[in-house]
Structure 1
Amino acid sequence: MTSIAFIGLGVMGSPMAAHLATAGHDVTGYNRSPGKDEPLRSAGGSAADSVAAAVTGAEIVCTMLPDTPDVDQVLTGPGGVFAHAKPNALIIDFSTIRPDSTQEFAEQAAQRGFRYLDAPVSGGQAGAAGAALSIMVGGAAEDFAAAGEIFDHVGKTVVHVGPTGAGQTVKAANQLVVAANIQALSEAVVFLDAYGVSLPEALDVLGGGLAGSKVLDQKRENLLSGTFDPGFRIDLHHKDLGIVSAAAREAGVVTPVGALVAQLMAAARACGDGGLDHSGLLRGVQRLSGRTDT
């Protein structure tokens, strides 16, 4: 049994922490918004009333937080992980944040005697609930090996992709591909609908050929029903595409499709769709095509 602190019990973090507790680990969770700890408690874990209380004595500290400033506050703040974790604790950041900030956090961690892995995930709420996440991990190989059992309890595809920051870089690429795929699917659905084609059958055919993808498999029902309960919110994907844009500019890389889909994601937020699942990009195509009143 490993003592684990899990900071961030939101849509993704809550089931991940619960899986670790169900596997028999001693998991203490903390979430800055109250009332999010019941799934962890039901799985046999416990909840703390502060980051400091959660991480004290923990061998592994996991974070799953919305954005770079949130990770910064939790790690480096006066009541944070760096100030209260035990020496040599392994910090695993499952959040999706800036690669350059990740490298800075890892350097600070090393200076304080901690180990650090960046391990952003893909798979959304369904992947977290089913312990089937894809996890892209950056950091030292020996730390990746030490965290193997933790990853196995929350993910299905776990790959060590390189040194510190590599995990976040691969996740940025993932988010570019997913956003472009959703946008293309949304345009295809509106195009097909304009010609009166039966959408279920059309998506069956597309899914069985080269146009098929996991994005189509997972977002099919959203696109058909026009309901967009969040598995991964437009607000968060907007943030991730900002990471892509900034990192690409720093590398001198041109991402024209990425730039376009980032603007379309921003437009969706501006129209009030930020809280919807990212498959809600369909609504933007419908608006542009004059095929909706919303």
Structure 2
Amino acid sequence: MKVGYIGLGIMGRPMAANLLKAGYEVCVWARRPESLEPLKAAGATVAASPAELAGQVDVVFTNVSDTADVEAVLLGENGVIHGARPGLIVVDHSTIAAGASRRMAEKLAGQGIQMLDVPVSGGEQGAIDGTLTLMVGGEAEALEKVRPLLEVVGGTITHVGGPGAGQIAKTCNQMIVAQSLQAIGEAFTLAEAADVDPARVREALLGGFAYSRILEVHGQRMLDKNYRPGFKARLHRKDMGIALQTAAELGVATPGSAVATQFINALVGQDMGELDSSALVEMLRRLNKG
């Protein structure tokens, strides 16, 4: 299969690179020309627009920031829908609201284009290593056609359900991550206030029931104050906005997510939106210095 890739940021660039390394022909498009250069050097071809790209490939991957970006590259002027041939499959790795994803899937289906919503978890390192967790919404038939491609970028592939189901799974993931960061940050702040080494606390907890991958990876980030972004706080804020809006639409109470969102909001408000969301602990440290 010939592959098109749109969106070459922190996640998209290594994912597209892994497809190239696996031997697939890859055509790319990005809003920022400088994002294209590493992929061109690795052998990718470049399209002038999403529509032109769609006319050359069998599968289009999109990996952009938010709903408006996905709509623009898929349905906007010179979007994928205007250049695609019937039978094209769109695999959207972006994290957006499930309702918006369903609406776009319906519009594409009217032109004979299948769409899978496949948000990912695992951060930049998972994208580089090809070990991402993929949460798939859409038709099983389309998933099986693109499974060999997904196996290049992901270590775990779960078909959650129909259109939008992958986005719901990702929303749940982001809620758990945010609240876990909040809990770890509070624990470390408590340990510091009690004059106990939080690094030793983390070491003890890693061997017990409180173990989590977030405690292992992001707990170390908090100790080192290393907030080089694996996942930027401003994007986590966007995702938590989706979570709270979805909960409101469904009439579901999510108080823990609401509190964690306020700390992420504070990070962005303090000009730390480009840092990893594990920097949330810094808001707790500032709060407790008062």
Name the TM-score class by shorter chain.
over 0.9
Deviation at 1:53, TM superposition (A): 2.6
AA aligned to 1:225 is D
Contact 2:53–2:83 under 8 Å retained in 1: no
What are the within-5 Å matches in structure 2 for residues 214-225 of structure 1?
214-225=213-224
Q: Which residue number corresponds to residue 59 of structure 2? A: 60
Rounded Cα–Cα distance in structure 2 between residues aligned with 1:38 and 1:205:
45
Aligned to 2:277: 278
Opposite residue 100 of structure 1, the aligned amino acid is G
Instruction: Specify the alignment match of 2:184 in structure 1.
Output: 185
Residue deviations 1:9-52, cap 9 Å, x none? 00000000011111111101111012112332343322223222
Identity of aligned residues (%): 39
Q: Report deviation, 1:196.
A: 2.0
Asked if 1:143 is matched to 2:151, the reply is: no
Equivalent positions of 1:238-277 (< 5 A) are: 238-277=237-276
Kindly indicate whether residue 44 of structure 2 is the aligned counterpart of residue 45 of structure 1: yes
Query: Which runs of 5 or more structure 2 residues have no equivalent in the other structure?
Result: none
CA distance in 2, matches of 1:52, 1:109: 13
Alignment RMSD (CA, Å): 1.1
- Contact kept, 8 Å, 1:94 with 1:121, in 2: the verdict is yes
Matched residue, 1:129: 128
TM alignment of 1:1-294, pairs within 5 A: 2-290=1-289
Q: Is the 8 A contact 1:15 1:40 kept in 2?
A: no
- Counterpart-to-counterpart distance in 2, 1:199 and 1:252: 38
For normalisation by structure 2, the TM-score amounts to: 0.97
Deviations, residues 214-240 of structure 1 (Å, cap 9, x unaligned) = 111221331111121111000000000
- The one-letter code matched in structure 1 to 2:145 is A
Q: Distance in 1 between matches of 2:112 and 2:280?
A: 44
Distance 2:250 2:233 in 1: 26
Q: 8 Å contact 2:175–2:257 — kept in the other structure?
A: yes
| TM-score of the aligned structures, taking structure 1 as reference length | 0.96
SS at match of 2:34: coil
List gaps (5 residues or longer) in structure 1.
Answer: none
Count of equivalent residues: 290
CA contact (8 A) 1:19 1:43 kept: no
SS in 2 for 1:57: coil
Give 1:6's aligned amino acid: Y
* Amino acid in the other structure paired with 2:58: E
Alpha-carbon distance in structure 2 between the residues aligned to 1:138 and 1:53: 26
Instruction: Write the distance in 1 (CA, Å) between the matches of 2:22 and 2:156.
Output: 18
* Counterparts of 1:42 and 1:207, CA distance in 2: 42
Partners of 2:84 and 2:122 in 1: how far apart?
29
